[in-house]
Each structure stands twice: as structure tokens, then as C-alpha cells.
A and B are shown apart, each in its own frame.
Chain A
Amino acid sequence: MTIATETKAKLPPSKHEFAEVIHRLEAGGAMLPDTPENLMQIIGIYKAYAVPMDFYWRDLLYIAERVFLDPFPFFKYFIPKEYLDLHNHYAGDDADLRIWRGEATAHPELLEFMEKGETFKMPKLLHHWLHDRVNMEFAEECMRSMLWHGRDMGWGLFDSYLDSDEYKANADKAIKAYFKYNPVMMALYKAFPDLFLEQCRQMSYYSNLGLFWEIMAPVFFEMSDIYDEGGFKGVPDAMNFLVNGIFAIAGRPIYHHVYIRGECYEIIPKSKGFMWLYEAALPYVEAVFYRTSPFRGTKSYNAQAKQVPDDQKDFHYGILYADVFPVGTAGIPPTLLMQDMLHFLPPYLVDYYRQHCRGENDMLIQLGITFQRSMYCVTSAVIQALRTALLYPLDDPNPKHLQANRAFFEAQINRFKRPEARLRNIQAQNYR
């Protein structure tokens, strides 16, 4: 509050369309209004998101490191015990940096759900066919978004490294080792090397996203625990926890290792120095929160219909822009994510949803909008983190510095001037 007063004293009010949001950011707040209801919603949904995320990152790494280029990866969503027991580097007693005070292995609620699903205990294959499982389709869609938008976003060096000779040589070694005893695939590789290379790049993004979410899952678990203990007083507290977390783990290496017959092939070695913040977090936010791509059935890909822009940079289909109301139409990935989160909602959030709109019957949409609110909070954390890294403190005494901060905030918020952006909606509590 002190900061806000000082900032207001030194700068005239912003004339931006979202001046209220700008002032809130300048006061150290988030794009999301600071209300107890918003805080309860975002923390609750972080918890519900973190449990399937615990599955996502483990499976993403399993696919990147073990399944790799299997031409028939029928069982890629069947995580072996080894990966369920894989220790998260940011939870448990042996953590590199203990963010969550819980266990390093798979979350107990996740293990319970994997066993019983929504129905009852039955063979894993039946759960899979019945879609009574954690849906990896959403995670893969995120990965593909990062891969597809990677070239165009200008963040970091990871993506350009995928085109380097060094990467190609490393990939070539791994591919040859992987298909050593498979002459058909080896012949295909010789005939169409680029095809295999592109698949290998995709695997590198599997690893990238898996390593990104390995951190986010314990972050969200810990936020939920702190909230349950009465630790957060408002949305800015939650956002600041995220900002601090981002800086604490910004340097975590992003790499891609493949294990073939017990031997590790370092396609992207840790020694390349790719950092979590620049090579995973920021590309992820840009690709997934802002851009992604229109899901089949929601937009016409017919060029004449002009419903999809020509340039990738003009894509704005991410969660910050998504129309969540029609979600559920065609089993599109965001719906599957909401379905995943539905299984792990904390009781207070279930009660909250029951009191609004259609109660249990439209919980999928209510939680989708909560998710949208929560991602505006995460994006606020990223914006504040970037401001911290690139610009000036919020309580900087120099008005020019404050003006530079404001210009930065306004530039960021300009992206939400688009009519489909939900920033306007989330300012009101009755958007649910």
C-alpha cells in the first residue's frame, strides 16, 4: 500500500484503457483483483492443477528419455514405476532446493486416482480406453505449441540450438543407437533423416516442458499448503511467492537426455547452460498462455474464412484469451485438462462451485474460468519478474525509472486490448 501511494504521488494517473490494472501492477499487485474470493479460487485451482501436473512432468520425461522415437508408442502414457518414484528435484528430503515440504515421489492423490480412476479398480488398459485417467493430450498440446511457436518467439537459445550441427550430431548418435537392431527404421532414417530429426526435436521439447513442470508442480503444492495454513493474505502474496520462486530456480538447467539400453545419450547436455527461466518458462508463457493455436472445431482453418491469422505472432488462443464457455464440445485438450483438475479440486472449491451457476453440472467451466484467473496471476508474476530483471524497483525514487516501468507495464497490458482477451472479464467477480 505504501508503494502504491508513493508511485501515485510521483506519476500522474495512467490514461491506459486498463489504467486500474496498470496502477495495481505498479503497486506490486497482479492483473487479477486482490479479493479473498480470487485468492481462494487461484490457490484451490493450483492444487488441482499440481496433481495432474505431477503426472505430466513424469510422463513427459519418460517419453523424452525412454519412449523416444518408438514408431508405435501405444503405451507412452503408461508411466513405469521408476518414473513414478523419480525424485522431484524440488521436493522431498533430497531436493536440490526444497520448494514443497511434501514427498519427492508421485503425489499420493495421483497414485490413488491412477489406481481407481473415477470408476473403480480395473486393468490400466481399460482405464486408458475409458479415458478414466490423467489426460496427457493437454500436456502434448502444450509441448507442440512450444515447438511450433519456438522459432518465432525470440526467447532464449534453446530453439535455435535444435538447428545446430552439434544438436544434429548428438541426435544422430541417439537415433542410430535407438534403431541399432531395427533395420527397417534404420533404412527409413537413411532415406528420410529430417523426419527423424524433427521427431527428435519434438522429444527435446517433451523434455523441456517436463523439466519446466517438474518445478511448477511443487511450487503449486507448496502454495496450496501455505494457504491452508493461513499464510497468504492476498493475491499479491501469492504472486510474490511465484516471483520469488521464479528467481530462485531461474538457473535450473534445461537438457535432453535419452537412455538407450542403459546408456545415456546427451542430445542436449546440461553443459550447454540452457536456463529454466529463459528456455522454458518464458517460451512456455508466450506459447501456451498467449498463443497456442485454435483447437479443431472451434475455428475454420479455411484460408478464405480468415478465422486464423496468417502470422504466428498474431495467434491469440491461449488461456488468457480462451472462451471457456463452449469448452467441452469436442474433447479438445483444454477440456481434458479441466477434466483432470476436476478430480483433484480441494473441498472448499467444490463447495464454492456448488453455490454458483449450475453447481456441479457446469463445474468444468467454472473451474476453467478459475484456471483462467489463476493464469492471469501467474502471468502477472512473470511480468513482475521481467520488470525486476530488466527494469527498476517499484519504489524507485526516480520518476523516469517509474515511467519506464509504466511503459513496460502498458506495453504488456496492450496485448490484452484485443476483444477476445479475458482481462476485462476477470476484473469482475461475476465472470464465472
Chain B
Amino acid sequence: MLSVLIWVPILGAALIGLWPAAIPASRARLGALVISSSLIVWTVVLLSQFDISNAGMQFSEAHPWIDTLGLDYSLGVDGLSLPLLALTALLTWTAIFSSNESVERPRLYYSLMLLVNAGVVGGFLAQNLLLFVLFYELELIPFYLLIAIWGGTSRRGYAAMKFLIYTAVSGILILAAFLGLTWLSGSSTFDYNSIITAGLPLTTQLILLTMLLVGFGIKIPLVPLHTWLPDAYVEASPPVAILLGGVMAKLGTYGLVRFGLGLFPETWALVAPGLAILGAISAVYGALTAIAQKDIKRMVAYSSIGHMGYVLLGAAAATQVSLVGAVAQMVAHGLILAILFHLVGVIETKVGTRELDVLNGLMSPVRGLPLTSALLVLGGMASAGIPGMAGFIAEILVLQGSYATFPLPTLICVVCTGLTAVYFVILLNRTCFGKLDNNTAYYPQVKFSEQVPALVLAATIFFLGIQPTWLLRWSETTTNAMVATVQLNVNHQLANAIAPTRSYEAKIQLKTPIQKELILTP
């Protein structure tokens, strides 16, 4: 069942890209839309068949591939990856739908879009570490090309190369960590479920986990590993930015939780305080930098850094509430970022600028872009965590779940949700309100088809905000099980810590709030 999600887009990409006769752009687009729609349908089927009470992998597929390398074609889905699969399917369709109908080199463009989808989905499904790395790298080149060829200005080559170098380093670090992990743990395979890190020395675990954190931290990205993001997001066309921020970045957060938390439950608690502080720093940095921006796309890009900070905080705290909140935040962030990038793209196409100092009065009902503006207001509200929308549910869970563990970083993140409102009020006030310039405001009308992606995303954001069960139910069991593993392993560590063989280890371990709490618990 799961292979369909990987092979249909790959075969679709091949079909569109290698079709012998020249096909018009509209046909390529239609083909890509049909394929992405079929992926949505298939994901819905998966959702309907998914057992939410089962914390383990479901719909597993395993086929031996290169035994000597320990590489198996092993797939599976659980509550952590399922919501992200659904998000990827929806955002791929959104990105394809919102692509310019007269895009140049349509066959290559839509093929690459579908390849990106296949790579990301493969990453979410892979149950073999090498297979994960393969998929992780698979989406790298398509993204590079999508930015370099269809990017915005003359800086697109620079942005694409910067993205390529950063994410290639990310891939190398992750590969090195996985190789080290497998070899040092004495495992004969890269199978995720077979690898046990418990026997590794703490220092080794720390080194391997740090490599993973830096690798995935680049992908997310976390401050200070973020510098590729503003250039890539801004230079990429809006549909590619949707995939970059909405889908690809999730591969980073997913990897962090799946492999960081999942494979190093003992060591996670050690690095968690640092991660929480990094999360808070990312949130503050993202918000303050967004406030200073004059380009609305760059503002949205920086807001993304801020919001990924919440995911990191929730994952670092690793409580039942915060972890489910972190997964929810991944989904909500993907949806909200996608709607914002789409709308920014619409505004840029129609008005011809993204400059805050030039934009004005777009809410004007007849000559402005009223529905686009209204949806932008909605996107801004969702991003600022206004109740009734998906962003609120995710953020409140992260903040509520993290407070007991990391009060100060959580409080800083609470302040940052306020700062989110600040820069979105700036954005909306300058963009949507005020007067249209009589000399320049002759913008083409936004067609209904151009509004469809935003309407679909807005409806989803509302639905998940009003009915949050549908956001949380898929991942609750899995994340609860992960949290239980972390706590169990922490207990083991504590038992060792009571009679420490090395005093510095005990000091480090006793500093973490989870452990303090557990010491008091009989």
C-alpha cells in the first residue's frame, strides 16, 4: 500500500518528463494534478484504514535489497509519519495547482515537483536508515533545479547553490551518524527497529546525536544553521517555497523526532535543555527578524524559522502533550506557511511587488484583491495562533506541554506568539489596508482558480482548528509511546546516576527537569 505513494509520483514524473512528443504545458500540469490528486485519495484510504490505537508501524512492507550493505526496502507508517504524509500529499497538490499555467519547461518542472514528493514521502516511510538517507538526498537535486531554473531574480543561482551546499552537508552528517550508529552498535543491518543504542557509551551517543541534530537542524532550519533559508525561500517561486517550507522542512523535524528522540531516548534528555533554548532562540530570532523585513515573502520566510522553534521546544520537552503538539505544529505550520506563500505569490503576480512600502489598500473591494487579502488576514491570524484555527491548537499544546519541563524557554515562546501578531499586523496593515494608489492600482483580477489552493488550505486550517481531534488523533498513541520510552530510559539512566562511575555524567543528568521530577516520583 505504501509503495504506491512513492512509485506513483516517480513513475508519473518519468511519464511526464520522458513523454516522446512535446506536450503542452496544460497537459503536463493536468497530468501532475491527476497524479497528485490520486496521491491524496490514496492517503485518505490510508487514513481510513489506519488503526489509531496501534503505536507501532502499520502497512509495513519489507523487501531485501542489498544485503551486504544492510539496505532493505523497508517501509512503514505510524502516528508520527501519517499526518506528515497527508500534509505532503495536500501541499504537493497545492503547489502544482498554484503553479503558473504557462510555466517554462513544463515537463521538467512538473516531473521535479513529483520527484520531490516521492523523495519526501519516501523519507517519511523509510524504516531503513540508509533508505531514509537515499530518499533524503533524492529530493535535494530536484529542489536545487526548481530554485535555480524557476527562481525569481538573478540571485536564484546563488540561493540554489547555497541551499545545495547546506543540505548536502546536512545529508553527509546524517549519513555519517547513521553509519557510526550502525557500526558502533554492532548491528548487521540499517533497519530502524533493529538498532539499539542503549549499549553505546554516553559520549558516543552524544556525538552521534549531535551530528543528527546538526544535520536535521540545517534542514529545519534552526538558528544558527538557517542562513540558506531566506535566500532559498525568497528566490524560489511560491509553489516551490510551499514545498520547501511546508514539506521539506518537515523532513528535518520528522528526522529529529524519529531518529533523534527515537534512537537516542537515553541521551535525548541530556540535550533537551539545549534544544529547548535553541527553540526559544529560533522563535525570538524568527519573530524579530520578520518584524524588520520590508519584503513580505522574506517576512513569511523568517516567520517560518520562528514557528519551527516551537516544534523544537515541544520535541525537546518530550512530554505527552508537548510531543503531540509538536507533531500538530508540523502540520499546522505546513498548512499556514503554504497558504501564506501562495497568497504572497498571488500578490506578487498581480501587483508586481512584494515591498511593504509600496503595497497598500489591497482590501479594496472592487479594484483591490479583496478575497486574497481576506485570506491573507486569515493566514496571519492562523500563524499568530488565534483560537479557532489549527495554529492555535498546535501552539497551545506545545506551550502547555513544555512549560512544566522548560518554563523559561516556554515563556519566551509565549512572548514570541505575541511578536508573531506584531509582524502580521504590520504586514496586513500595510498590505491590505490604506488607500490604493490611483496611479498604479490597475491590478488584474485574481481568478477563482488562483484562489482555490488558498480556499482549500483555509478550510483545512479552520476545520482542524474547530475539530482538533482530527489533527491529534493520528499521532497521540505513537507519541505517547515515544514519551514512555524516553521516560523509561531516563529511569535507567537515573539508576546509574545514583552510583555514578563518572561524576560529570551524574551532574549533567540531574540537571534535566524530567529527571528531577522522576527522582521525586516513587
What residues of chain A have their CB less than 8 Å away from a CB belonging to chain B? 323, 325-329, 357-358, 361-362, 364-365, 425, 430-432
Contact = CB atoms under 8 A, between A and B. Distances in A.
Contact of A425 (B361, B438, B441, B445): B438
Contacts of A432: 442
B492 to A, nearest CB: 66
Give the dominant DSSP class at B's interface: loop
B436 interface: yes
29 contacts: A323-B435, A323-B438, A325-B364, A325-B436, A325-B438, A325-B441, A326-B361, A326-B364, A326-B367, A326-B435, A327-B366, A328-B365, A328-B366, A329-B365, A357-B442, A358-B366, A358-B367, A358-B445, A361-B366, A361-B445, A362-B366, A362-B367, A364-B366, A365-B366, A365-B367, A425-B439, A430-B442, A431-B438, A432-B442
A201 to B, nearest CB: 36
Contacts of A425: 438-439
Nearest to A364: B366
Contacts of A365: 366-367
Residue with the highest number of chain A CB atoms closer than 10 Å, among B361, B435, B438, B441: B438
A420 to B, nearest CB: 10
Nearest to A362: B366
Nearest to A361: B445
A301 to B, nearest CB: 18
Contacts of B444: 358
Contacts of A358: 366-367, 444-445
Contacts of B445: 358, 361-362
Contact of B367 (A325, A430, A431): A325
The 6 residue pairs across chains A and B that have the minimum distance between CB atoms:
A325-B436, A358-B445, A328-B366, A362-B366, A325-B367, A326-B364
Given A361-B445, A432-B442, 16 more contacts: A323-B438, A325-B361, A325-B366, A325-B367, A325-B436, A325-B438, A325-B441, A326-B365, A326-B435, A328-B365, A328-B366, A358-B366, A358-B367, A362-B367, A365-B367, A431-B439
Residue with the highest number of chain A CB atoms closer than 10 Å, among B364, B365, B366, B438: B366
A341 B367 CA distance: 19
A365 B435 CA distance: 14
B447 to A, nearest CB: 11
Contact of B436 (A326, A364, A431): A326
Nearest to A358: B445
B367 A329 contact: no
A329 B438 contact: no
Residue with the highest number of chain B CB atoms closer than 10 Å, among A365, A431, A432: A365
Give the dominant DSSP class at A's interface: loop
A329 B365 CA distance: 6
B435 A325 contact: yes
B254 to A, nearest CB: 44
Interface in B355-382: 361, 364-367
A249 B365 CA distance: 41
Interface string B421-448: 0000000000000011011011011000
A332 to B, nearest CB: 12
Contacts of B442: 357, 430, 432
Contacts of B435: 323, 325-326
Nearest to B441: A325
A141 to B, nearest CB: 20
A362 B438 CA distance: 14
Residue with the highest number of chain B CB atoms closer than 10 Å, among A325, A364, A432: A325
Residue with the highest number of chain A CB atoms closer than 10 Å, among B436, B441, B442, B445: B442
Contacts of B436: 325-326
B440 to A, nearest CB: 11
B298 to A, nearest CB: 28
A235 to B, nearest CB: 22
Interface of B: 361, 364-367, 435-436, 438-439, 441-442, 444-445
B520 to A, nearest CB: 58
Contacts of B441: 325
A323 to B, nearest CB: 6
Contacts of B438: 323, 325, 425, 431
A432 B442 CA distance: 9
Residue with the highest number of chain A CB atoms closer than 10 Å, among B361, B367, B435, B444: B367
Contacts of A323: 435, 438
A148 to B, nearest CB: 25
A349 B366 CA distance: 19
A189 B369 CA distance: 52
B419 to A, nearest CB: 28
B168 to A, nearest CB: 47
Contacts of B439: 425, 431
A260 to B, nearest CB: 45
Residue with the highest number of chain B CB atoms closer than 10 Å, among A323, A326, A430: A326
A324 to B, nearest CB: 8
Contacts of A325: 361, 364, 366-367, 435-436, 438, 441
A300 B207 CA distance: 63
A371 to B, nearest CB: 15
Nearest to B361: A326
Nearest to B434: A326
A365 B438 CA distance: 11
Contacts of B366: 325, 327-328, 358, 361-362, 364-365
B504 to A, nearest CB: 64
A430 B367 CA distance: 15
A365 B439 CA distance: 14
A124 B361 CA distance: 38
A351 B444 CA distance: 18
A325 B361 CA distance: 10
A326 B441 CA distance: 11
A232 B444 CA distance: 34
Contacts of A328: 365-366
A428 to B, nearest CB: 9
A432 B367 CA distance: 11
A300 to B, nearest CB: 13
A425 B437 CA distance: 12
B448 to A, nearest CB: 12
Contacts of A431: 438-439
A430 B440 CA distance: 10
B349 to A, nearest CB: 15
A361 B436 CA distance: 17
Contacts of A327: 366
A425 B438 CA distance: 8
A315 B190 CA distance: 79
A327 to B, nearest CB: 8
Nearest to A356: B442
Nearest to A420: B438
Contacts of B365: 326, 328-329
A326 B445 CA distance: 15
A86 B439 CA distance: 45
Nearest to A329: B365
A101 B139 CA distance: 77
A326 B361 CA distance: 8
A326 B365 CA distance: 7
Contacts of A329: 364-365
B451 to A, nearest CB: 14
Nearest to B436: A325
A326 B435 CA distance: 7
Nearest to A431: B438
Contacts of A364: 366
A365 B361 CA distance: 15
A329 B366 CA distance: 9
A338 to B, nearest CB: 10
Nearest to B437: A325
A362 B444 CA distance: 11
Nearest to A326: B364
Nearest to A327: B366
A361 B444 CA distance: 11
B474 to A, nearest CB: 42
Contacts of B364: 325-326, 329
B100 to A, nearest CB: 20
